Amino acid sequence: MATTIQSKPERAIPGPPRQWLFGNLKEFARDQLAAMDRWAARYGDVVSVRFGRREIVFLFHPDLIEDVLVDRGRGFIKHYRLRQTERTLGRGLLTSEGDFWRGQRKLAQPAFHRERIRSYARSMVDYTERMLAGFQPGQMRDIQADMMRLTLHIVAKTLFDSEIGGRSQVASEAMETLMRAFVARTGRLIAPPHWIPTPLNLRVERAIRRLERILFDLIDERRRSGEDRGDLLSMLLAARDEDSGRGMTDRQLRDELMTLFMAGHETTANTLAWVWLLLSEHPQVEARLHAELDSVLGGRAPTFEDLPRLPYCASIISETLRFYPTVWMVGREAIRDLEIGGWPIPKGTTVFMPQWVVHRDRRWYDDPLQFQPERWADGKLDHIHKYAYFPFGGGPRICIGNNFALMESALVLATMANRFRLRLAPGAVVRPLATMTLRPAAGVPMVVAERPSAGA
Ligand code: HEM
């Protein structure tokens, strides 16, 4: 694959000077997004750093990213930071490898087929309307918390046919703890194993137990009823190993459910929180959205069939995922000696590929620091490199929920924008915080206003 990098393996990969013990870990932990921006600007498309004992290579060029995720995907496994989430996610779809992963992916895939996803649209809109019933003009709300609860209800209903009800608050708080723990561990040379009762580990343990309680309740309810409801939970419960004929153990089930629960709601919730912030900052974008909604829906609730006629709504979601990529970086670890872009990547090296940097690179986007949904209109960006925009990753490990997430985001946005406008609370400042996902650092306080022409 042609790249901008010259083949010069005899030279060391460029990178910032390293402190003897931490290497570049402290600089990274201080502000991960700013550190990556700086390294890309100073050292180019391939940058070598060290985090403690770990050799890390950052790739900032789409050719090289495609090489790792697609062409040479088999030379890599997921990276150490994901392995550190093992106590939480176990061996679920996101973290497992090899034949085990392939089997589980095959099992889960039908729940994400187009026709299946289409049947989720109604629930997505219904739950959004239920939430909106509690919205009052003039009210101040933390929209990030609202989106978190909403997407949790949706994922539980669509994939596990369950009502989360009042448990959504407990789940959201537990998620918050886990995400903050991920950040707290970023700058540490050694993360104490989860069974050592440090204050952080104890908090994490409590959060995991709370989430597990919810998941085990879902599994128990279904096992007791013995019903096959045709949803993902029933598919997982009915699955049998081809050789042994055995079903999934409770542990495997727990890991898959936890993964889908976490990957399936936090990402979409943060995307929607960013959408609302950006609309509040760009009233002209909001006005165009309202015009589209009014002309296509005329005040009624959106359906799956309406989506192709709401291209501007889709452009807002695409642009938000470019501007604030909820998954801000994907990573892999080389399992054998490799060469990427002419540079040697020895076995054991961690390779990080940040959407955050690539999506804001002026080589691929005009005015990349401007939020412009129009850039996606009429296939204008069809020609860009496939991996200059990869909010859902790529290759065999591409997000299984990408179409689910895009449909959910569009339906929630259309349903909400039909009825209300949201404005950032006066004086509030929202900054991105890079946890496992890119989320607003301290919520998004917004004031609710009725739309004059809404619901007409
Ligand atoms: C805007 C929302 C979302 C974003 C930005 C997003 C992003 C991603 C990315 C970048 C990956 C690849 C990670 C890697 O290569 O290491 C991924 C994997 C995954 N995502 Fe998503 N995701 C979103 C929504 C969802 C939803 C709604 C679900 C499920 C309902 C989901 C479930 C998963 C799972 C299970 C994986 C692992 C797939 C595998 O390795 O086979 N995601 N996601």
Q: Is residue 8 part of a domain?
A: no
Per-residue pLDDT tens for 37-66?
999 999 999 999 999 999 999 999 999 999
Orientation angle between helical segments 199-225 and 167-186, nearest 10 degrees: 140
- 353 Cα–ligand 1 center, Å: 15
328 Cβ closer than 6 Å to some ligand 1 atom:
no
The 8-class DSSP code of residue 190 comes to: S
Domain, as residue range, for 276: 25-450
**Measured CA distances, 57 to 44, 237, 353, 387 (Å):** 12, 40, 9, 18
- Nearest atom (ligand 1) to Cα of 69: 15
- 417 Cα–ligand 1 center, Å: 26
- Nearest atom (ligand 1) to Cα of 92: 35
Coil, strand or helix: which one is 108? helix
User: CA nearest 267: which of 180, 331, 208, 325?
Assistant: 325
Q: Is residue 9 part of a domain?
A: no
Residue where the block lists tokens 């399936």:
264
- Among protein residues, the one with the nearest Cα to ligand 1's atom 6 is 392
155 Cβ closer than 6 Å to some ligand 1 atom:
yes
- Among protein residues, the one with the nearest Cα to ligand 1's atom 18 is 399
Q: How far apart are CA 278 and CA 371, in angstroms?
A: 8
Query: Residue 201 has what pLDDT?
Result: 82
Pocket test for ligand 1, best of 76, 107, 266, 267 (most atoms within 8 A of CB): 267
- 402 Cα–ligand 1 center, Å: 7
Q: Is residue 128 part of a domain?
A: yes
- 30 Cα–ligand 1 center, Å: 26
Q: How far apart are CA 41 and CA 29, in angstroms?
A: 18
**Given the DSSP bridges, would you call strands 438-440 and 76-78 parallel, antiparallel or unpaired?**
unpaired
399 Cβ closer than 6 Å to some ligand 1 atom:
yes
Find out whether 24 and 16 touch, Cβ atoms under 8 Å: yes
274 Cβ closer than 6 Å to some ligand 1 atom:
no
- Among protein residues, the one with the nearest Cα to ligand 1's atom 17 is 399
**Measured CA distances, 419 to 82, 166, 329 (Å):** 40, 25, 34
- 263 Cα–ligand 1 center, Å: 6
- The CATH number of the domain holding residue 271 is 1.10.630.10
Q: Is residue 15 part of a domain?
A: no
DSSP for 76-95, written as a single string: EEE-HHHHTTHHHH-S-TTT
Q: Is residue 437 part of a domain?
A: yes
Query: Residue 455 has what pLDDT?
Result: 47
Dig out the tokens for 9 from the structure: 């393996």
Residues paired with 446 in a beta bridge: 141, 424
Query: Residue 250 has what pLDDT?
Result: 83
Q: Is residue 146 part of a domain?
A: yes
Residue where the block lists tokens 């042609």:
2
- 396 Cα–ligand 1 center, Å: 12
260 Cβ closer than 6 Å to some ligand 1 atom:
yes
* pLDDT means over runs of 10, the chain (456 residues): 49 92 93 97 97 95 97 89 79 90 87 86 95 96 94 90 80 82 71 77 88 87 82 82 77 89 91 98 97 96 96 97 97 95 94 98 96 91 91 96 96 97 95 91 94 60
Which residues have CB under 8 Å from 349's CB, separation 6+? 55, 56, 57, 333, 334
Q: Is residue 378 part of a domain?
A: yes
Coil, strand or helix: which one is 99? helix
Find out whether 423 and 331 touch, Cβ atoms under 8 Å: no
What's the structural domain count of the chain? Answer: 1
Q: Is residue 37 part of a domain?
A: yes
Pocket test for ligand 1, best of 399, 402, 409 (most atoms within 8 A of CB): 399
